[in-house]
Structure 1
Amino acid sequence: MTRIAIVTGASRLKGIGAAVCRELAKAGHPIFFTYWTPYDKEMPWGSEANEPKRLKDELEGFGVPVNMMELDLTSTEAPEQLFQKVREDLGQPSILVNNAAYSTNDDYSTITAEELDKHYFVNIRATTLLSSRFATEFNLGSGGRIVNLTSGQSRGAMPGELSYATTKGAIDAMTVTLAAEVAKLGITVNAINPGPTDTGWMTEEIKSSLSGMFPSGRVGMPSDVARTIKFLVSEEAEWVTGQIIHSEGGFRR
C-alpha cells in the first residue's frame, strides 16, 4: 500500500533526508519534502546548486508524484503552510519523517540563549508542532506513521554539542508520550538513532577514527537508516510504536 509521505530537511543529495526520500519513492510512496538552503550554506559542508530540484527530478524517475517546498521551520506558521501545500499538491499525508535538524558546536562555557533557541526551534519545537498538526488532521483511521530522528543522546555524552544534545534528547521523551496519545487515531510514532553517519561532513581522518568503533569496520551511510525508516512506515510495522530504535550498526562509544 502506497501512502503520501512528508520528509523534512531533504536539501542535500548526500543527506539522510534525501536517502529517505529515495527509499520511500522506490517503495511507491508519493513524496513531499522540505528544504532550507540558508542553513546549509552556513554549515561547513555547504550546498551545491539546485540540489533540491535535482533530488525532485531523481525521485520522479521512480514513477511517483513529487513536490517540494523551501520552508523555514523556525516559523510558527510553518506547520500550517506545509500541510496546506501538501494537501493541495498531493492529498492527505499518511507518513511524516521529521528529519530536519539544527546543529552547531557549543559547550557550557560558550552556550548562549540565542544559539540554544535556534536549536530548540528546529529540533524539538518544529518536530513537536509538525507531529501535532499531522495527527490532528489525520482521518484515515489506520496507517499513520511518524518517525523522528534522534542521535542517541541517552546512550552517552556529547561534549561540545550541548545545545544539540539537549534539544535532540527531548525528542525521545516526546516520541514516547505522543505515541500513547495518537495510537487511537491509527498512528504509530517512533524515533530512530542512526549513529555516526557520513552525510558529507566526515573527513577521511574522522571516518578512520570512527570505523574501529563499528563491528563492521565502517561508518554508517544515509541508506542504512533510510532502509530502517522504510520498514517503520510500512504496514508490517503497525505493531511498533513508542520506540527509540538505535539503528547504528553496533556502534561502540
Structure 2
Amino acid sequence: MNRLPRKIAIVTGASRPNGIGAAVCRELASRGADIFFTHYASYDHELGFSDADSGYPDLLAEELRALGVRASHASLDLSDPAAPERLLDQISEELGQPEVLVNNATHSIDIDYLALGADNLDPHYYVNLRGTALLSTAFAKRLDNHRGGRIINLTSGQDRGPMPGNLAYAATKGAVSAFTVSLAAELASKRITVNAVDPGPTATGWMTPELEAHLLTRFPMGRIGQPEDAAKLIAFLASDDAAWITGQIIHSDGGFR
C-alpha cells in the first residue's frame, strides 16, 4: 500500500535487525516513505547485542532502497543536546524536509532504588526525555503551518502499573507520556499530531527463554509481541488517515496482563 508517498520519515534507534526501529523503517518504506534512520552501536554493544554490527546500517539502507525509496542514516548520540539540530540539518541536505518523526531510540539499564544515583539516572534522562523533547521541538519548528506532520513516541506502559527494578527507565519514559499529551495540544494548530505507542513486551532479542515462557502466559492471544506489530500501528499513525488522532497513549500490546 503506497499510503506514505513522498513523505520523509526519521526513525531513531534502528541499530539491530530484529529491533522495533528496523521494523518501522521497513514498514514505512513499504508504504512509500523515504527514510532517514539513526543508530548508536556502542550502546547496543554495551548491552551485549551481538547483532549490533557496525555494517548493519548500510545493509538496512540497501534493503530499504530495494523497496523503491530513498534511504540514508547516521550514527547519533541523543545524549548530546546539539544532536537534534545537527541531525535535522543533515536530513534536509540529503533528503529534504522530514514530515514524520518516530522517537524510538532509548536508554535502559535495570536499576533499583539501592543502585539509583545521578550517574545512572542522567543517561536515561539525556536520551529518553531530553533527547526526545529536543528532537521533537526542533522538528516541529521546521514545519510550516500548511504541511502538518507526525510525531510518534515509544513508551512502555509506565502509566499502567509499576516497573520495580527499572526506576530510571520507568521515570524517564513515563515523562515521555506526559510530554506527548501536552506537546500535542501545543502543536495541534500546526496540524502536527503527537502520539505515543506502548507495544508491550516485544521479542527484539532481549528476552531469555525463561522470561519469554513466563511472559507468554500473560498474553491472551497466545504469542509474544513482534516488532512488526508495533511497526504497523506506527505506520498508520504516520499516515494521513490518522490526522484526527493526537495526544494519545496507545497500548497496542495484544491484551498483555
TM-score (norm: length of structure 1): 0.98
Partner residue, 1:39: 43
Partner residue, 1:23: 27
Structure 2: which amino acid aligns with 1:108? Y
Structure 1 residue 111: Cα displacement: 0.7
Aligned residues: 252
- Deviations for 1:199-220, whole angstroms, at most 9, x for unmatched residues? 0111221111111101111111
**Which of 151, 173, 177 is the equivalent residue of 1:172?**
177
Structure 1 residue 112: Cα displacement: 1.3
Question: In structure 2, how many angstroms separate the alpha carbons of the residues matched to 1:74 and 1:54?
Answer: 25
Structure 1 residue 64: Cα displacement: 0.2
> Does 2:141 correspond to 1:136?
yes
Question: In structure 1, how many angstroms separate the alpha carbons of the residues matched to 2:34 and 2:147?
Answer: 18
Partner residue, 1:215: 220
- Deviations for 1:124-179, whole angstroms, at most 9, x for unmatched residues? 00000000001100126144000000000011111110000000000011000000
Question: In structure 1, how many angstroms separate the alpha carbons of the residues matched to 2:17 and 2:226?
Answer: 13
Question: In structure 2, how many angstroms separate the alpha carbons of the residues matched to 1:114 and 1:18?
Answer: 30
Structure 2: which amino acid aligns with 1:110? A
Structure 2: which amino acid aligns with 1:159? P
Question: In structure 1, how many angstroms separate the alpha carbons of the residues matched to 2:124 and 2:86?
Answer: 21
In the TM superposition, structure 1's runs of 4+ consecutive aligned residues that sit over 4 Å from their partners are none
Seq. identity, %: 55
- Deviations for 1:43-86, whole angstroms, at most 9, x for unmatched residues? 03232341111111111110100000001111111011100000
**Which of 204, 212, 228 is the equivalent residue of 2:233?**
228
Secondary structure of 2:159's match? helix
Contact 1:143 1:235 in 2 (8 A): no
TM-score (norm: length of structure 2): 0.96
Contact 2:32 2:69 in 1 (8 A): yes
Would the alpha carbon gap of residues 91 and 140 (structure 1) be closer, same or farther in structure 2, given more than 3 Å must change?
Answer: farther
Alignment gaps of 5+ in structure 1: none
Partner residue, 1:57: 62
Structure 1 residue 24: Cα displacement: 0.1
Secondary structure of 2:10's match? strand
Structure 1: which amino acid aligns with 2:96? G
**Which of 91, 112, 121 is the equivalent residue of 1:116?**
121
Partner residue, 2:160: 155
